[in-house]
Amino acid sequence: GTTYTIRLLPIGGYVRMAGMGEDMTEITPGMPLSVELNAVGNVVKINTSKKVQLPHSIPMEVVDFDLEKELFIKGYVNGNEEEETVYKVDHDATIIESDGTEVRIAPLDVQFQSAKLSQRILTNFAGPMNNFILGFILFTLAVFLQGGVTDLNTNQIGQVIPNGPAAEAGLKENDKVLSINNQKIKKYEDFTTIVQKNPEKPLTFVVERNGKEEQLTVTPEKQKVEKQTIGKVGVYPYMKTDLPSKLMGGIQDTLNSTTQIFKALGSLFTGFS
């Protein structure tokens, strides 16, 4: 069985492997608990929690137990320390932990180390793969929420801010800026570099619109950025809004994030002097 819980840490959740031992319920001799039996007298629930009350359970104090091989629990029932009672534990019995979480016991045959090597390899691979898939879903969702993927490798412009210098000069969304002051424009960086260097100076734009070239004069307004005055015309980069581009944007962001993680891990080993 699989137990699902919502927790703050680790973020995104985790998988508890049967028999791995890091997070197994602690049962010790002398521990008070209660057990619930099935019709044939086998234990089907072991309650170690004070938060949960089982109406038909039997209280007992643990003397000995084995939940991996022999599958039994021995103890004093109802406070009678003169007689030890032994119950057989069902293979699929569950334990209610101190916080109220109910999990299955882990007999040897269902523990992680009892699985075939190929199954263990696939299980270990599935964790990182699911994290990668989750990352792709989240990054793709972010792309959809922002409306598309910003393309900085084109001379086509995106949204033009109303009443800005570009809008007043006649620039329109999706125009292709071929040149500014006879300097060829191939990508958005070329565009911004020239504009920022020329605050309040008229610039001659040659743009392509609907297959035709037009010439416009745009005067960037000045803007103070960290003690430096730059030019600004009020234009956003072009954004791809088609479905394939959005999906590819999610993939690219996921790959970039994964690459940064591996670089950070690598720096832990290469950063020592």
| Same structural domain, 21 and 88 | yes
Answer yes or no: is 61 within a domain: yes
pLDDT at 129: 84
| Same structural domain, 159 and 234 | yes
Instruction: Give Cβ neighbours of residue 143 (< 8 Å, ≥ 6 apart).
Output: 149, 246, 249, 250, 253
Structure confidence at residue 272 as a pLDDT band (50, 70, 90): low
Q: How far apart are CA 169 and CA 163, in angstroms?
A: 10
| Same structural domain, 139 and 81 | no
Tens of pLDDT, residue by residue over 103-142, are 888 888 887 777 788 888 887 788 788 888 888 999 999 9
- The answer to pTM > 0.85 is no
Pairing of the two strands 43-47 and 84-96: parallel
| Same structural domain, 219 and 128 | no
| Same structural domain, 101 and 179 | no
Tens of pLDDT, residue by residue over 146-192, are 888 989 999 999 999 999 999 999 999 999 999 999 999 999 999 99
| Same structural domain, 13 and 26 | yes
| Same structural domain, 4 and 95 | yes
- Average model confidence (pLDDT) for the chain? 88
| Same structural domain, 234 and 126 | no
Structure confidence at residue 222 as a pLDDT band (50, 70, 90): very high
Range of the domain at 138: 116-146
| Same structural domain, 137 and 220 | no
CB atoms within 10 A of CB 53: 9
| Same structural domain, 110 and 120 | no
Number of domains in the chain: 3
Structure confidence at residue 35 as a pLDDT band (50, 70, 90): very high
Q: How far apart are CA 206 and CA 31, in angstroms?
A: 84
| Same structural domain, 14 and 88 | yes
Please give the angle made by the CA atoms of 63, 64 and 69, to the nearest 5 degrees: 165
